[in-house]
Amino acid sequence: MRKITLFIMLSLMLGCGQKSINDGANDFADANKWLALAKASQQPEKSLYLVKAGAILAQKGQYLKAQETFSFVTPDALSFDAKEDYFLYYGLALQNLGQTSAALGFFRRIKSPESHGIDWQITYRTVLSEAYLSDGNYYEAAKIRIELEDLLMDETAIKANHAFIWQALGEISLEFLKVYQTNYSSPIVNGWLELAYLSRSKVDQPEQLLNALSSWRNRYPTHPASLNLPEELQAVANAKIYRPKQIALLLPLSGKLAAGGRMIRDGIFAAHYNSDQASSTLIKVYDTANALSPLAPYEQAIKDGADFIIGPLTKESLEEIVGQEEHSTPQLSLNQTDMPIPSTSEIYQFGLPIEDEAKQIAQRAIAEQRTKAIVLAPNSEQGQRTIESFRKIFEELEGQIAEVQWYNTPEDIKQSVQQVLNIDLSEKRAARLQQVLGEPLEYVQRRRQDTDMVFLAASPDEARRIKPFLNYYFAQDLPVYSISKINSGQQDPSLNKDLNGIIFTDAPLLISNERQYANLRKQLIQIIPNIESPLGRLFALGYDAYSLIPNLNVMKAFNQYSASGLTGELSVDATGRVQRKLSLAKFSKGKANEIPPETTEE
């Protein structure tokens, strides 16, 4: 990836390209002509021509040919300037061939970069900083690019340079960003370091980040980054904080979706009364179940003066609204759609899609080096969506799915387990042998050996049947992964003992052991007894939806920002879609216990 980046960066910074190689005119555009001259010449001309040919090949991105050409050079035969060319372009070729240490060795032998032309110096600092970045010396990589600024005249090149500086500084820990700010550094270097520090230290406080950014610009009014902020910080600086005066809540409060709608509503009001805006913000609730059209409550809310909308809940209703030409009121939907949403609109999408959970499990399994999966799932629309999401990410990460078994009823589960483990084939082979031999045959059942994990998209009742069959048919050593669907929320050891060992994703509100979540659960149980049931996830959705409102625009602009929510670790992508990273838990002794972050199950 960095090879491509380097080639593009050089093109941007050098504009039309380098006109000379060693302060003299390059009479030949074709490296082959220099090679022909080298072949017909003796030293020292032979090595000089080889350097000129190698430099052209390196600049054209023909790195292997350049390396081969430079390998025939006799450095001691070169003049001082030609030797500097040799070190530069040989290092450039090696860096792009992934040989960073060797490249740095050549770059460090360059004695006098300032004695060369501007284009030469730009190339030198560009490739040297790339090498330091590849080598993990992020501060030096950034510092070299900061010094490069004085040589750049083109606005596009300056933006590309700022992007590199920002990338390098983003790799440095907060502690060292502070340490590197010294009296020995220039104000320009310290300004960059301070900007990186404040953006990272305020990453979970968008409003404070905006204030700190404004203060930084006042202190550094002529700083290069102040005049031309890194792209993501520019977006943050331009982002607005939402402070709605009237929020419209579009939810089904009657009909078949009423229980879920009421739980989301309760979560929203809980967050509202726990916020600083409770006294200055009015929430009006619209029952979408009574509307003849999804557009009716939406249009009524706007007519009533809503300056922010939460909802609707169903995908169909959301798509009706997205299909309208006008979207003047900011909106956080409680579902997601694949329909294109105009970039100018302020429609954000939130929800609890099972696809997100399946993706996270796929990533977790691969991280634990589980690369060959068998899958069991109900033959339903939801089951198929879950498996397709798991398959997509799992295979992108170079995992393989050995087999998928679908079941239609609980009675199918035993046979499905036998089939997915190839136990039925073992029994059929034994039966055929017994028929051929004409006498009773003793044999040992064996499961398939081409898998190292199981993925379930099962309900709690289904999983309580599946896991014992997996154990019975010799798959007790295979780790089993699932999603929140498997967790009923009932902490009943006698009921859930058959789920022991299953790892699954779920909302922190239901499973996190962190004090803030555990204490909140205890408080909510007194008011909402079924908060630990699947409905509790909808309460969490409502609570997080309200809590996200002020910072949605900033989060969209600054994708490093994440917020700890009741539904998971939340961020917002460039399309306005809220992304969730859920908690992980494992059933042990019949109870769901959170797996602490950054640990790996053995």
- State pTM to two decimals: 0.74
β-strand pairing of 347-349 with 331-333: parallel
Least confident of 40-44, 162-166, 433-437: 433-437
Position 252 confidence tier, pLDDT thresholds 50, 70, 90 = very high
Q: Are 135 and 151 in contact (CB under 8 A)?
A: no
Query: Three-state DSSP class for 325?
Result: coil
| Three-state SS sequence of 535-558 | HHHHHHHHHHHHHHHHHHHHHHHC
Q: 149-157 long-range contacts, Cβ below 8 Å, gap at least 24?
A: 149/188, 149/224, 151/118, 151/121, 151/122, 151/125, 152/13, 152/122, 154/12, 154/13, 154/15, 155/228, 156/12, 157/12, 157/13, 157/15
Q: What is the pLDDT of residues 393-412, one digit of tens each?
A: 999 999 999 999 999 999 99
Domain ranges of the chain: 2-237, 246-349, 355-506
Residue 232: pLDDT above 80?
no
- List the structure tokens of 256: 């078949």
DSSP readout, 13-76?
HHTT--SBSSSSB---S-HHHHHHHHHT--TTHHHHHHHHHHHHHHHTT-HHHHHHHHTT--GG
How many residues belong to the chain?
602
Pick 485 or 235 by higher pLDDT.
485
CA dihedral 178, 182, 188, 193 (to 10 degrees): -10
Q: Which residue has the higher pLDDT, 431 or 42?
A: 42
Q: Which CATH number fits domain 2-237: 3.40.30.10, 3.90.470.20, 3.90.1300.10, 1.25.40.650?
A: 1.25.40.650
pLDDT confidence of residue 1 = 41
Q: Left if phi > 0, otherwise alpha if psi is -120 to 50, otherwise beta: which for 590?
A: left
pLDDT higher than 80, residue 239: no
What are φ and ψ of residue 280, in 5° steps?
A: -110, 0
pLDDT band at 425 (very low <50, low <70, confident <90, very high): low
Q: How far apart are CA 231 and CA 128, in angstroms?
A: 24
| pLDDT-derived band at 200, boundaries 50, 70, 90 | confident
Mean pLDDT, rounded, for 233-259: 89
CATH of domain 355-506: 3.40.50.2300
- Taking all residues of the chain, what is their mean pLDDT, rounded to a whole number? 87
Q: End-to-end CA distance of the chain, in Å?
A: 33
Q: Positive or negative CA dihedral for 366, 370, 374, 378? A: negative
- The answer to whether the CB of 88 falls within 8 A of the CB of 110 is yes
Weakest-pLDDT range from 117-121, 242-246, 271-275, 445-449: 445-449
Q: Do domains 246-349 and 355-506 have the same CATH topology?
A: yes
pLDDT at 180: 85
Give the separation between CA 30 and CA 136, rounded to whole angstroms. Answer: 36
Contact between 206 and 187 (Cβ < 8 Å): no
CB within 8 Å of 382: residues ≥ 6 apart:
354, 457
Look at 439 and 525; give whichever has higher pLDDT: 525
In this prediction, residues 551-565 reach a mean pLDDT of 83
Report yes or no: 289 and 255 within 8 Å, Cβ to Cβ. Answer: yes
User: According to the 3-state scheme, what is the secondary structure of 465-490?
Assistant: HHHHHHHHCCCCCCCEEECHHHCCCC
pLDDT-wise least confident of 8-17, 67-76, 339-348 = 8-17
| Rounded average pLDDT over 73-94 | 94
Residue 269 to residue 251: CA distance in whole angstroms: 13
Scored b (16 or more CB within 10 A) or e, 248-284 reads: bbbbbbeeebeebbbbbbbbbbbbbeeeebeeebebe
Instruction: Enter the CATH code of domain 246-349.
Output: 3.40.50.2300
- The rounded percent of the chain whose pLDDT value lies above 90 is 61
Among 511, 503, 567, which residue's Cα sits nearest to residue 365? Answer: 503
CB-based burial, 587-596: b 16+ in 10 Å, e otherwise: beebbbebbe
Q: Is 414 exposed, middle or buried (0-12, 13-18, 19+ CB in 10 A)?
A: middle
